[in-house]
Amino acid sequence: MKNNFLVIGSNSFSGAYFTKYLLEKGHNVFGVSRSEEPNEVFLPYKWTNNLDANFEFIQLDLNLNLNEIRELVKSRKPEYVVNFAAQGMVAESWLTPEHWYQTNVVSQVKLHDELRKIDCIKKYVHISTPEAYGSSDGGWLKENYNFSPSTPYAVSRAACDLHLLSFYKAYGFPVVFTRAANVYGQGQQLYRIIPRAMLSARLGRKLNLHGGGVSIRSFIHIEDVCSATYNVAIDGNIGETYHISTNQTISIKALVHKICDMTKVEFKEVVEMTDDRLGKDQSYLLDSSELRNEFAWIDHINLDEGLKETLAWVDNNLESLKLLPYEYLHKI
């Protein structure tokens, strides 16, 4: 059955890939982001001829264009709204925390207060983050684990989640939450650890490894995240949270070693050890058994396979990628 989806944050890595996933399933999609569409190397829905025929992009800023977003929803009547929009980047949130609270809390609350009054929405999927939990200290976290955020970014995301739960309880707002482990894959922004390490190896750039890379993470391929998110959007229980994760863990140092081996570059030639970031969580490992049991969902792409695919994307687009910004650029 063809449905209408609004993807908020469609320029983000996960938002753009989920847009591709929806279009491949034959749905109508309109996407909203505050910036114009980026270089096509970051837009998977443009990698296949005519895949974006049922996609429309509208440049709107959640902080500035709430009225336009509300009218867009009223006129297009999407059955499903999937919100990837958030001010990201953990370390940078310490510099101007008010920007993170404005986008991730104040503007989101205003959006939800408008959406709850619109009848066409069957499901609102809020893409949250395990950062809200703080460090798991090596244990696998269930969906009811208490929030203990350790950075302004994490605090802002936890606050928004709590607000949405209050709207669900008070108004029956049809929200479901997803929290995914560390997502990666083709088309990811270059400041993220996997494409950054690959580009560092290919271009002879130094990669700063904060805290020696001892943090433990679980990396999950974006294709697997998209299939899980789609299951949650269509069949997830309103008010519930679903974790999207693999059962495979790795330290950041071991991950970079793996990438160095793939690119045949010595680890010591690429890496420069630096101090750890303020408030960095040493681990957050998500128990995804609820998602697996409810939807018979499984992750199909293991880390080695996913890294090979991502490296192929880097190599195929290296001439373009080496000219693009390598660092995170904060937008107010």
Task: Look up residue 133 and give its two tokens.
Answer: 């939990």
Nearest CA to 180 out of 124, 227, 113 is that of 227
Lowest mean pLDDT, pick from 53-67, 111-125, 277-291 = 277-291
CA distance to 35, 52, 116, 218, 308, per residue, from 30 (Å): 15, 10, 19, 31, 31
Question: How high is the pLDDT of residue 213?
Answer: 92
Question: How high is the pLDDT of residue 332?
Answer: 65
Task: Look up residue 172 and give its two tokens.
Answer: 């029956």
Stretch 73-78: mean pLDDT: 97
Q: Is the dihedral of CA 50, 235, 156, 121 positive or negative?
A: positive
C-beta separation of 62 from 109 below 8 A: no
In this model, does residue 90 exceed pLDDT 90? no
Greater pLDDT, 212 or 111: 111
Per-residue buried b or exposed e for 64-85, using 16+ beta carbons within 10 Å of the residue's own CB: ebbeebbebbeeeebbbbbbbb
In this model, does residue 182 exceed pLDDT 90? yes
Neighbours of 26 (CB within 10 A): 10
In this model, does residue 63 exceed pLDDT 80? yes
Domains and CATH numbers, the chain: 4-183+219-244 (3.40.50.720), 188-217+250-281+303-321 (3.90.25.10)
Question: How high is the pLDDT of residue 209?
Answer: 93
Stretch 185-196: mean pLDDT: 97
Which pLDDT band holds residue 139 (cuts at 50, 70, 90)? confident
Question: How high is the pLDDT of residue 288?
Answer: 98
The half-sphere exposure of 186 on its side-chain side, counting CA atoms within 13 A, is 23
Per-residue pLDDT reduced to its tens digit, 216-241:
999 999 999 999 999 999 999 999 99
Query: What average pLDDT does the structure give for the chain?
Result: 95
- Sequential DSSP letters for 41-103: GG-GGGSSTTGGGGEEEEE--TTT-HHHHHHHHHHH--SEEEE------TGGGGTSHHHHHII
Stretch 270-286: mean pLDDT: 82
